Every structure is written in C-alpha cells, then in structure tokens.
Structure 1
Amino acid sequence: MAPVTQVVTVGTVCSICIIVISIYIRQPEDDLQRRLTDVLQGLIAVEKQHVTHTPKVAVGYGACHDLVINGHDFLSYDESVGIPQHFDYINSIEELKKSYAYYFRHGAAVERYMSNSTLFDDLVIAARKIHGTRYSLGGNAASIAARLHNEGCEVILGATLTTELQSALPKGLKIVGPLVTKDDVHLIMEYKAGENWGPYTAPRANRYILHNDDNNPLVSSLEAFEEQIKNFKADLLVISGLQMMDNYPFVKGEREARLERIKAQMKSQPASTKIHFEMASFSEPHLINNLIDNIIPYSDSLGMNEQELTNLVSMYQYGNVSLVADSNPRVATVLDQMRQLMRLVKESHQAGLTTRELTRLHVHTLAYQAILTLQKSPWRRSDVAAAKASLTAHRHVCGSNQVDLDKAALIMDNSFSVSVRHNSARVVIEPSHPVSCWSENDGLIQLCVAPVLVCTHSMQTAGGGDNISAAALAVQL
C-alpha cells in the first residue's frame, strides 16, 4: 500500500502546484482586465457629465478624398532604399521609399507634397487596384466639421469639393465654397504597431500621407467662407488644413497673401467667438514662422500631437524644425513642453500686437490626452473634454462607437510625474476615476490628463487627431 500512498501524495502535490501556478498566471490577467473595465467605466462616467447643447462653429479650410491603403501592400521594400532620409517634398518613388522608411521606423505621422503630378496620378491608379483599398472623407477641416456636427453643433464648413464628396458629409452640415469637377486626393499609407517593412519595425500604428493638391493649398474657399460667417455669430472658429501650404509651389508672395487674408478674418471675429488652430505635420521652417507671426497670435486655443508640440517648441526656441519625436513620450515631458509653449507664445505676443491670448492647449498622444487651460478663460469642463477625447481616440482608430476591451490596452503607467524636474509631485491614476486634474501657479493654470484605451486592432489612424480635437472642443464650448 505504501507505493500507492506515495503516488496519491505526489499527484495531490502536483495538482496543488498546478492550481497555484495557474492562479499566479491568471492573477495579472484578471487584474489587467479589471483595470481596463474600471478605466472605461470611469471615462464614460465623466463623459456623460457633458450637457448637450447646440453651439455654432465655423470650420475652415478644405476637404479631400482619402484613399486608404496598407503601406506594406502598396510599397515594396528593396535594398535600393538604403539609408532612410527626410525630404521636404517627394519627387520620385525612390524618395518616397526613403522618406517612408524614415518616418515608419519612428512610428511618426507625416504628410508630404508630391511635386510630380503625373507620378502621383499613377500611384493613385495603382493603389485603387489593390484589394482592401477604400475611399473615405478626408481633410482636417472636413473631419473636424463632421465630428462637431455629430456632437450636436451647428456647423459651417469652408471647403472646395465636388458634389460627390459633399454627399459624404453629414446632412445638415452647411458647406461654403466653390464646386469643382475633381477632388483633391490624399494617399493614406497606414501601418500597424509591430508591423515590419524591410529591416524596420513600427513602434506604433500610424500613417504616411502623400498628396498633390490643387485646391487646398490655395485655400480656395476662403472668400466665400469669409462672407458667410459675417452674420453667423459663431461661438467658435476653427482654422485647420494649413499644412497643405507646406512646400507647395506658390507664385512669389501668394502664400503670404493668403495667410494675411486668414489673419484678417481671425482679427475680425468678435471677442465672444473663440478661435482654435489645429496644428499638423509641417516641415518648412518659413511656413511655420509665418504661422507663428500670422495665425498663433490670433488664436485662443491650439491642438496638436506630441510631434507637432515638439516641432513648435523647437521653432519658437531655436528656429529649427524637429522632424520626429518620441512616439510615446512621458507625461512629465509633454506637460513641461506645454508649459514651455504657453510661456514662449506669451513672450512672443508681448513683442508685438495681438488681439488674443492663448488660453488653451490640447495635446493628444497615443497613450493619453492632456489639456491645459487658464482659469480666467471661458474654457470649462476640461476633465470632461479629456475623457471625451480619450474615448474618441479609441472609437475612431478601432472604427466603432463601442469600446471593445478585447481590442484595448493601457500603455500609460499607473502613475506619472507632473514635471521632469527633481522631486516633482507624482499623480497616481485611480482606475475608477481615471481623469486627473490639478491647478498650478496659484490656481492660474488647470491641467487635466486622461489615459487612452489604445486600440490594438487599428482600422484607421488618419483623421484621428482631428476627431479627437473636435470632440474635446465640442464639450468645452
């Protein structure tokens, strides 16, 4: 009987070990799922605090057809790519591949003008033939306008487009601008986190955008839009799409004249109309300096991602372009840059005339949303706006109105420092109350940070920033 007892004892011990091991393996998974659930419920609870009303918003400028395709399916890697390289504009397949590699390896969003119109048309024709290619409404202004309309705002959009593209916009959204027979097309080369292209691996999902626009760089809808908004009495004017001017072959002085006209439009708005400028991927220093002189001084609010934040700070501080930045920066780093940008803009404004004070910054990153406002400003409910922005990020990228936790991940740490400075305060994120807000400078500044339930099954990244910024703005009007 002894051998039998021994076998039973060993079997029992093995069973216990298996149970204990399985508990330890399952415990982190259970904790993670519980944390995801708590964060989602916490964000939705804050989002629901928004009281629906109907603010009036005027959005300029432009629209396009986005032709969305997987970059890997469209561009084949070969040894001729060589060393990845930045180009201000693209003129050949070789330059496109080198440029794609340059940004792909950093997971950086980028938008570039292709100067070779014939080649661009050939690329569009080739893209249409690839299985899975799809058209969608594109352009910063159009995407922002559509989101604001869907959030309950009364919206006027300044855009030059065809009747076909007009039909892609929500009914009830008023479009102002000349009709054309051919829409501008943007070739959107999307890629997913962890995707390989040659020897390079994307650290996050993002896109490379190529365009050869005719209408958007000239802001063709400007005059008609200007006339319509005179009596509209907008609560908010949104300026966007100006990156289409980047490296475009303007006649000498033409771009400056268009920016002067936009500045005049901004200056003509009453104090009761807030003005928001949505940044984008700029690479031409002269254009960014034009924005610093003509657009930002007349804006109450700025929206941007982590790359655009780094780029703008670099231009203010050093006068040069920062082409790429950390694709998943620490919260402390971004918060410091936001404070720095507010200070740099204020100092710049003190050196010249301006009709506005920058009172709001919204930075949207992959892992979190950060909103800074001045307490004396009319911007309210930053906590609700941060929650709304966070949920919109997941919903847009996953292409669903519902948040599926099986397609979600938290890549933000459980706590964060409010600054990179030594001994800075640290904020612990409470999952059931995930939006963290606090005041600084004796209550003059409020900061809110919300984690993003990052979509792990990306359907689309293009238009993400526009939808995120618009959703947050709708809450704060």
Structure 2
Amino acid sequence: MAWNALYSSAFEKIRSRIRNVGRVLLAYNTNIDAVKYLDGGDLERRVEAVGKDEVFRYTDELPERIENVHQLLGSILWSIKRGKAAELFVESCSTRFYMRRWGWDELRMGGQVGIMANLLGGVYGVPVIAHVPQLSRLQAGLFKDGPIYVPRVENGKLKLLHPRDFSGDEENCVHHIYEFPRGFTVFDLKAPRENRFIGSADDYNPNVHIRPEFHEHFEEIAGEAEVAIISGLQTLTKENYHEPLETLRGHLEVLEERGVPAHLEFAFTSDEKVRKALVDMLGLFHSVGLNEVELASIMEVLGNRAIAKKLLTNDPVDPVTVTDAMFKLAEKTGVKRIHFHTYGYYLVLTGYKGEYVRDALLFAALAAAAKAKLGDVRNIDDVAKAMDVPVNERVGGVEEALAEQYGMREGIAEVNGHQLAFVPTRIVVRPKSTVGIGDTISSSAFVGEFALR
C-alpha cells in the first residue's frame, strides 16, 4: 500500500486546517521532568549496593507505589526488561532524596498537560487553556511562546494569561525520568526497545490538586473551550481518589452540557480500585487513549485476564486481540472513540465513520516520529521532516491480519457497526527521547480529527 502518499496527503490537509480548531481545555497535570539517561554500569553498582536479590523481587511485578530504594531500582529494571513505560508515585522521603542525589541530565516541561500545551499551542498554534497545579518561575519558563493560557482571577473576574505573565512563584513539582535506549543492558536484562520509568516525586499531581480558579470558575472556563483533554489521574490511590473523581465528574457534566467532547488520556494506573473507578466513568468521555500495558490493566479489572495476558505476550502486539479488547471496552462503557497506540502501529475504534479518523492518526504518527527524531519540534513544518523516517517494516503481518479478519483496506474497515482505523508508524531507530511521545500521539490525533471534520 502507498502509505507515503497517504501520510503526505494527511499532513497537508491538517496543516492547512488545524488553526481552525477552537480552544482546547487541558487538565490536570503539569510538572518539571528531570531526565536521567541511564548508564548500565552505574545502575548495576547501585543495585548491588542496596542488595540485588531484594531489588530483583520487583522486576516481575511492580509495587503499587515506591516506598524504598529497592522498589525504585526494581521498577526501573521492570521497565528495562520489557521495554515498557511505567510511572509510580514515590512516597518515601528518603527515596526522593536518593533520586535528587542521583541527579539528572536535563530539565524539561513535564506532565501530560504541559507537554500537550507546548505541542498544541506552541507548535501547532491551537489555543489552549491549561490547568497548572503549581506555577513556579521555572515551570512558567518551560512553556513555549504561542496561544497558551492559564486562568487567573483578579477582582473576581477571570483572565486568561500566558504562564510567564501569571506573576506567581509557587512550588516546583519535579518528576524523575529514567530513560534507556533499545538494547540497553544491565545484568542479564536487555531492553527490547527504548523507553523510560517515571518516579513521581511531588505531592500536588498525585493528589490531583485542582486550583481554586478551576473550582470556582469552571463553567466560564468550559465556555471558552471547543474540546477537552483530561489526564493526570494515574497516581491516585484508594485512599485519595474519591474527591478528585467527584470533581472530575462535575467537570465532565459541565462539558457535556456545553457540547464539549472530552478525551481521557489513560496512563498506567497501578491501584486497581482507582482503575475500576476510571473505567466506570469512561461513558462520560467521548474518547480514551491508551497503550497495550494500559489496555491490559483495564482488561484485568473487567475480568478478562486471558486477553490481558495476550496483550503483553506478542511483539508486535496482536491486532486482533487488541480489537477484541477495544470492543469489550466499548460495549462495557459506551465510549465512542478508543485510540490504541503501540510501538509500530495505531488503531482507533469509533462509533462514527470517515477517512478523517485515519488521516488524523497519520498526522499523529508523523508528529511522534518528528519528536523522536528531533527531540524538540519547534513548529508544524518540523513535523514534515519525519517524512524521511521509514514506515515500520515489521507491520506487514499486522496489516495482513487486519485485512484477513476484518476486510480492512487502506487502513479502514467496518466492524459490527463501528469503524476500525489503522496506520503503521514511522520508526526512529535511535530517538532523542521517548518522553511525551504518547501525549504527542493522542493529542495530535484527537485534535486532528476536529481539524478535519
């Protein structure tokens, strides 16, 4: 199939229309990423120093949260062993101190809201309203130029300002990102692909701290938005999730009243009770985005453990198993759009039809490849620089399986009254970084759909 022609056409369509999208509301998590590029020898020495046997206990199953250095190092090894991303809240003060002493190689904008705000507003020129839990000078300085706004209330009136004009100096919320490349080796573990482990070490995002401006003026804020993307719920626990999810429910009801479709970016949620509560709320969303680890974790709470296991067994992930899981999720929740992204390909199951769904995926795949290739995408024309990145060579079997099972042609099939859209991705062999690629994919595809409608 002439995927290059489809890629080129999709990019040109969206580039010419994306600024027609109205304001995008982004909530709730923004932080500062302290990125550490792992060194195998250094990591082995650290593991040996605290006790290899104790650390390796956590390479087969992640803890719910990080309570000591053994769990931190074991969780990093869990990600390396599988080439999978994971994020856990670091509860222990001594472990946070250990991470600070370990240090970092660079500081970047972090949090799904922060990354999406810089992409949508700073790169695409789509105006965004971002919820920032704590707006320090360092955090504000990490936002790009462009139509990026945060709410501020002055004399009882709501104003929308660029973060650098907020004139506040609140706390820094730092997350530690441990990145490794494909083939990274430590002890007898070898990473099958590049990825990272994230240790969340702030007390605002894990509790989904929502600013007073959002509590008191949400109806007015929602009235300024055309679409919404919700994220940052992944570190909630059974002890603290009730109030944030009730607030979220209220926000979703307001968005629904105003006809603002909302997408949930479903990051890995270790607490099973919270996961189940989020699944129970999915019917209030228009859309959800997830990868194979996150989809498997949802299948587990729905009682489909056999499917969950199969999702994590094959590489590339079996697309028929993925589609089966997506249908089960759609049937259970009523969510109209499920966006699945994995290394090598993307699938979207929708209750509506149109080539624009596939074209938005192609644009998202190109944006993700550009971010992997360049590290920082400065403007929308930079996205086109990924056209020379080759389409995934290993995706042929995936495409054939979809054609055989569902009669898919040119990345589109009709299945049980739904549309299934598929695209192969472009693979950057040695990416500059993997942080934020999932957020780039999901926000580009979701907003891209509205640009083309």
Matched, 1:163 2:144: no
| Residue 371, structure 1, aligned to residue 324, structure 2 | no
Aligned-partner Cα distance in 2 for 1:408–1:321: 28
CA-atom RMSD, angstroms? 2.7
Residue 32 (structure 2) aligned to one of 50, 65, 72: 65
Q: Which residue of 1 aligns with 2:396?
A: 413
Corresponding residue for 1:209? 198
8 Å Cα contact 2:252-2:284 kept in structure 1: yes
Cross-structure match for 2:8: 44
Per-residue CA shift, 1:263-321, capped at 9, x if unaligned? 1111122252101111001111111122123x313111001111111111221235999
Cα deviation for residue 381 of structure 1 reads 1.4
Contact 2:369–2:426 under 8 Å retained in 1: yes
Cα deviation digits, residues 379-437 of structure 1 (max 9, x gap) = 87102111012112211222253227467753312533239xxx724557xxxxxx511
CA apart distance, 1:88? 1.4
- Which residue does the alignment assign to 1:145? 117
1:236 and 2:222 aligned: no
In structure 2, relative to structure 1, the CA distance for the partners of 1:153 and 1:122 (3 Å cut) is same
Tell me which protein shows more helix as a share of its residues: 2
2:56 matched to 1:75? no
Alignment length (residue pairs): 407
Kindly report which structure 2 residues correspond to 1:83-94, keeping only aligned pairs within 5 A, or say none. 83-85=56-58, 86-94=62-70
Contact 1:188 1:210 (C-alpha < 8 Å) held by counterparts: yes
Residues 204-263 of structure 1: CA deviation (Å, up to 9, x unaligned): 11110012211112322344224444234221121101113247xx5xxx4301211111
Is contact 2:139-2:172 (8 Å) kept?
yes
Residue 254 of structure 2 corresponds to 268
State the match for 2:108 in structure 1. 136
Deviates more, 1:271-280 or 1:318-327: 318-327
Aligned residues of 1:151 and 1:474 also touching (Cα < 8 A): no
1:391 aligned partner: 366
Equivalent of residue 56 in structure 1, options 9, 16, 23: 23
Aligned mate of 1:475, from 445, 448, 452: 448
Cα deviation, 1:170-224, whole Å, max 9, x if unaligned, reads 2330123795532111111111112111100111111100122111123223442
Partner SS, residue 283 of structure 2? helix
Alpha-carbon distance between aligned partners in 1 of 2:37 and 2:436, rounded to the nearest angstrom = 16
* Unaligned ranges ≥5, structure 1: 1-34, 347-357, 429-434
State which drifts further: 458-467 or 401-410.
Answer: 401-410
The answer to whether the 8 A contact 1:332-1:416 is kept is no
TM-score w.r.t. the length of structure 2 is: 0.82
Aligned residue for 1:454, secondary structure, equals: coil
Residue aligning to 2:266: 279
Could you tell me the percent identity over the aligned residues? Answer: 21
Query: What is the match of residue 5 of structure 1?
Result: none
Q: How has the CA–CA distance of structure 1 residues 380 and 407 changed in structure 2, closer, same or farther, with 3 Å as cutoff?
A: closer
Asked whether 1:198 is paired with 2:187, we answer: yes
- 1:447 paired with 2:420, answer yes
Cα distance in structure 2, aligned partners of 1:374 and 1:426 = 18
CA distance in structure 1 between the aligned counterparts of 2:246 and 2:389, rounded to whole angstroms:
49
Q: Distance in 1 between matches of 2:190 and 2:300?
A: 27
Residues 1:365 and 1:165: Cα distance change in structure 2 (over 3 Å): same
1:61–1:222 Cα contact (<8 Å) kept: no
In 2, distance between residues paired with 1:320 and 1:213? 36
Change beyond 3 A, Cα 1:137–1:407: farther
* Cα distance, 1:44–1:304 mapped onto 2, change above 3 Å: same
In structure 1, what is the Cα distance between the partners aligned to 2:283 and 2:169?
A: 33
Taking the aligned partners of 2:388 and 2:182, their CA distance within structure 1 comes to: 18
1:58 positional shift: 0.7
> Alpha carbons of 1:437 and 1:462: their partners in 2 closer, same or farther (altered >3 Å)?
same
* In structure 2, C-alpha distance between the alignment counterparts of 1:462 and 1:412, rounded to whole Å: 23
Partner of 2:85: 109
For structure 2, the 5+ residue unaligned runs are 153-165
SS in 2 for 1:403: helix
Paired letter, 2:447 = A
Check conservation: 2:87, 2:198, Cα contact below 8 A: yes
- Find the structure with the greater CA-based Rg: 1
Partner Cα separation in structure 2 for residue 425 and residue 181 of structure 1 = 53
Of 351, 362, 365, the match for 2:339: 362
Q: Determine if contact 2:389/2:427 at 8 Å carries over to the other structure.
A: no
What letter corresponds to residue 109 of structure 1 in structure 2? A
- Alignment-mate amino acid for residue 299 of structure 2: V
Counterpart for residue 286 of structure 2: 300
User: Which amino acid letter does the alignment assign opposite residue 100 of structure 1?
Assistant: I
The structure 1 residue matched to 2:178, chosen from 189, 199, 203, is 189
Q: Give 2:66's aligned amino acid.
A: I
- Specify the code of the residue in structure 1 equivalent to 2:259: S
Structure 1 CA distance, aligned partners of 2:332 and 2:402?
A: 19
* Cα deviation, residue 121, structure 1: 2.8
What code does the residue aligned with 2:21 have? T
1:174 matched residue in structure 2: 149
1:225 aligned counterpart, secondary structure: helix
CA distance in 2, matches of 1:322, 1:99: 20
| Corresponding residue SS for 1:283 | coil
Alpha-carbon distance between aligned partners in 1 of 2:317 and 2:307, rounded to the nearest angstrom:
18
Cα distance in structure 1, aligned partners of 2:73 and 2:96? 14
SS at match of 1:413: helix
CA contact (8 A) 1:58 1:229 kept: no
